[in-house]
Structure 1
Amino acid sequence: MVLQREQPIHFWGKGLPGENVLVEFGGATKSIVVKQDSSWGLYFNKLKASGLPLNLIVKSAGQSIVLSNILIGDIWLCIGQSNMQFSLKEEIHYRDEIKRTELAGLRFYNPSFIGKGVFNKAFTDSMIQRLTINEFYENVSWQESDSLSARDMTAVGYYFGKQLLQETGVPIGLVHLAIGGCPIETFISKDALMNSKQFSSKVNGNWLTNNQLPVWIKERGVQNVGGNDKVISDELGPNHGYKPGFAFEAGIQPLVPLPIKGVLWYQGESNAQELDRVMEYAALQKLMIEDYRKLWKNENLPFYWVQLSSIDSISYKSQLWPLFRDEQRKLLSIVKNGGMAVCSDIGAKNNVHPTNKKLVGERLANWALVQDYKKEILPSGPLPLKAVYNRNEIVISFLYSGEQLSTNDSMSVRGFSIDEVHEVGATIKGNKIIIPVTKKPDYIYYGWKPYTDANLINSERLPASTFKIKVK
């Protein structure tokens, strides 16, 4: 287990009403009386990061619980859909990496969930019985990183945590609650959706027939639980991991008393298949970020996300992916203390699950290292600042260009367009891109293909984001 450093340490639980609970931790002892509703909770003073294992002892009503090997460090929440769920054993570097997973300072909380691995068919009766808020996520214990625990851990989270541990020495705890195929709506609280003028319609009536939700997730929901009167339901319809607010209530809400360092988010594929869903996504994610920051009472809670990769597949409506990637980019200027890992350079043309998660995790870690651990590195590849027309050429300037813009293959720069379709010639001049034109276009596009071979990088070889910006 890892407990969050430099924040009051909160212990809570259930007991017999009126009984005294004695808690020993970190050389201190505190006691409290169990309330009539059977709950108790108390706080210990904040502690600095430490790899020295501590013990927690809780005694009450003649019984005692001992938890050992507890470290003080940073807890990161890893959520999203299948690309966050994608395990280390599936990752392209697994055979070599599994030999390097013995990391005492890296810990995992990695529960399974009801419906994992079940796709185009009905849930079994035993699954239906456990499709509740309290039983949706499996009850598991924290694990120390080794060859057994790491193999089933989120690969993105693992590489992120390992990078932070190696660069800072701070113990890292990863809480992994991703749900393959899920929409963003399931990880946003029902209250936040209901109180949003723009999105209240998403929590109005049965989610399986709500036209404000992605079509694909409703189809999967019908396959899994549709027509089954044994499924626990409420005013929003039957319980399911894709139901608006359900993952939040089952996984996020119970965590809220536990201080965390920040959130990693890799999701979007299920919301990128219809134009209406694409165009609302940035606002939805902003709502989610605001919701989490309010719940954890931290207006600067770090929130880092992965931009969708490259793909060229009709089944995933990939023609919308350039627009979706740009909506994700725009969020960088909307929310503070956020960051986005670009991975369009490592996409798989016909596979929605690219296998190189090492670079994804490390690129997320770059943002955290800069913004949360004060490392002086580039957090990202080039992000566009502005495009200016002057004397038959467009000059594009960038943030995070580093010492010099270049290309990932030492070839001429590729990926720029003035009409979304046809590529135009461009040259690198220091930290700027120069594009000759005969007249001023309205917009400049970069990487505007579902599967792009755009090759612009910065001096740290980090790739530029897909973008569409107005020419001034």
Structure 2
Amino acid sequence: MKKFFFLIFLLPYATFAQVRVAKIFSDNMILQREQPVHIWGNGIPGKVVNVSFSKENKTTIVQPDSSWNIFFGRRKATLHPESLIISSGNERIAFKNILIGDIWLCIGQSNMEFSMKNEMHFADEIKRSNQPLIRLYNPSFIGKNIFGTAFTDSMNTRLAAGNFYSDTNWQLCDSNSIKEMSAVGYYFGMEILQHEHIPIGLIHLAIGGCPIETFISKDVLKRSKQFAAKVNGNWLTNDALPVWIRERGKQNAGDIKYADTSGPNHGYKPGFAFKTGIKPIIDLPIKGVIWYHGESNAQEIERVNEYAELQKLMIEDYRAEWHQPQLPFYWVQLSSIGTAQYKSQLWPQFRDEQRKLLTMVKYGGMAVCSDIGFKNSVHPTNKKTVGDRLARWALNKTYGENIIPSGPLPVDAKYKNGKAIISFQYAGDGLRISGGKTLRGFSIDRETDANAIIKENEVYIMSKQKPRYVYYAWKPFTDANLVNSENLPASTFKIKVD
């Protein structure tokens, strides 16, 4: 017998708080420097709300829709803790130890979620983890690490109400708080702090196993001619979504029949992470976004071929929502993995889709990590290198540091005098070979290694006939070894030869 699941709202009628503030506000938080300071919340319509911040006081009236908003002027980064006090009538909310600095949003799936306590450098890193200038906002979520079984009734109740992410507070970065924190996010933040010496806030909302579609607004998907099908009908039976995430969703749904024709709320449902995680913090200015995602969208060729356009749609919407058209967005290219224990046959194509996105959006960058993958695990434990490489992009493009942001990226390929000549961006002081004397990873047929040599910032591939394409690192688990003078690896690519 199937259970029917409905949500009943029980509203208190005797008492109601005169003033509430958005959940993102707490002790120890970071507010974004050089942007208007926006404080917002809910209250009783018509009531007066007073806000005090940094020795400045402002007043507003709660609107008919119960919302209130107050803005303070732009501020520079400060190491001096500030207090925030919100009051209305006889109610008072106070937050302390607030700093002004840069906030970075850390999102994606399991490799962004991958915690510090499981990271290979954790034992050493914990010794320097007491960093009071780094603040962590790291909620858990419904369904975390639950697969192969149905969610409980209490979990379904919370999901139906849209309560996906758990309530939490900002925490000081220390040996305890980093244990469950995103390792990639932590290492990224540490690198930025060490170079820029300003407070860093890290908001971590990654969801293990999720598709990119959950982090894109449902309305944005619906308005897109290319992707509107992704929000048609029940997501559990929608062929426009990755097979794997629908199978996991059905396991978690169990035998419950949902009244919502779009299917049950879940961390994998299109638009759901955006609605429950991103939308509630849109009014909080941020510095930028780091994104480690792709595994769940890399198993069917249809999903692979559309990924760059999907991520472009996501980036454009985030920039519009935050009213920051130059909002930095840096992503991690999928690593390497074998095919024996994982369906990774399409990973070379997927990595190339991620590379192509570099030419489709401005103010973005991609950290290449194919050199640190695990052959038999989708979760490589070296997240320090990943975070450091993401930080290189931010340090160069966002903070203006004189640092090479990336390993070699192909610019063009031309055939001349019996050889295909590939030129590269970000060669630094010249291309190099890592791990041996022979250059590996180049091919003109996707499978057979070609005879390739380095000539300063170019690679020559000997061929009696003009090849149509040149491929590099075109294997799920690759031993390709082209690097630049900073020992940063070249991206997987397929490039047409002119």
Pick the TM interval, shorter chain: over 0.9
Contact persistence 1:78–1:84 (CA under 8 A): yes
Q: Mind listing any 5+ residue stretches in structure 2 that lack a counterpart?
A: 1-28
- Matched with 1:270 is 296
Alignment map for 1:59-208 (pairs within 5 Å): 59-132=87-160, 134-208=162-236
Shift of 1:410: 4.2
Contact persistence 1:266–1:305 (CA under 8 A): yes
Aligned mates of 1:315, 1:328 — CA distance in 2: 23
Tell me the amino acid that sits aligned with residue 39 of structure 1.
S
- SS of the equivalent of 2:190 reads helix
- Matched with 1:446 is 472
Give the TM-score, by structure 2 length.
Answer: 0.93
- Matched with 1:372 is 398
Aligned mates of 1:392, 1:174 — CA distance in 2: 52
Tell me the amino acid that sits aligned with residue 51 of structure 2.
V
1:188-210 alpha-carbon deviations (Å, 9 max, x no partner): 00111001001000011000000
Aligned mates of 1:426, 1:345 — CA distance in 2: 19
1:327-357 alpha-carbon deviations (Å, 9 max, x no partner): 0000000001110000000000010000000
Shift of 1:437: 1.0
Contact persistence 2:472–2:492 (CA under 8 A): yes
Aligned mates of 1:407, 1:88 — CA distance in 2: 31
Structure 1 stretches of 4+ moved >6 Å: none
1:1-29 alpha-carbon deviations (Å, 9 max, x no partner): 10000010000112222221111111211
Aligned mates of 1:226, 1:248 — CA distance in 2: 24
- Matched with 2:410 is 384
- Matched with 2:21 is none
Aligned mates of 1:314, 1:190 — CA distance in 2: 36
Shift of 1:133: 5.4
Task: Give RMSD over aligned pairs.
Answer: 1.0
Alignment map for 1:33-432 (pairs within 5 Å): 33-132=61-160, 134-229=162-257, 234-432=260-458
**Which shifted more, 20-29 or 310-319?**
310-319
Contact persistence 1:115–1:123 (CA under 8 A): yes
1:52-106 alpha-carbon deviations (Å, 9 max, x no partner): 1111111111121111111101111111100000000010001000111111111
Shift of 1:38: 2.1
- SS of the equivalent of 1:427 reads strand
Tell me the amino acid that sits aligned with residue 191 of structure 1.
D
- Matched with 2:26 is none
Shift of 1:313: 2.6
Tell me the amino acid that sits aligned with residue 404 of structure 1.
G
Give the TM-score, by structure 1 length.
Answer: 0.98
- SS of the equivalent of 1:118 reads coil
Q: Mind listing any 5+ residue stretches in structure 1 that lack a counterpart?
A: none
Aligned mates of 2:64, 2:470 — CA distance in 1: 64
Contact persistence 1:49–1:73 (CA under 8 A): yes
Aligned mates of 1:38, 1:441 — CA distance in 2: 65
Aligned mates of 2:172, 2:387 — CA distance in 1: 19
Tell me the amino acid that sits aligned with residue 130 of structure 1.
R
Identity %: 62
Contact persistence 2:101–2:199 (CA under 8 A): yes
Contact persistence 2:149–2:254 (CA under 8 A): no
Shift of 1:315: 4.9
Pair 1:132–1:75, CA change in 2 (3 A):
farther
Shift of 1:317: 2.1
Contact persistence 1:53–1:71 (CA under 8 A): yes
- SS of the equivalent of 1:319 reads coil
Count of equivalent residues: 470
Shift of 1:387: 1.0
Shift of 1:411: 2.2
Contact persistence 1:133–1:250 (CA under 8 A): no
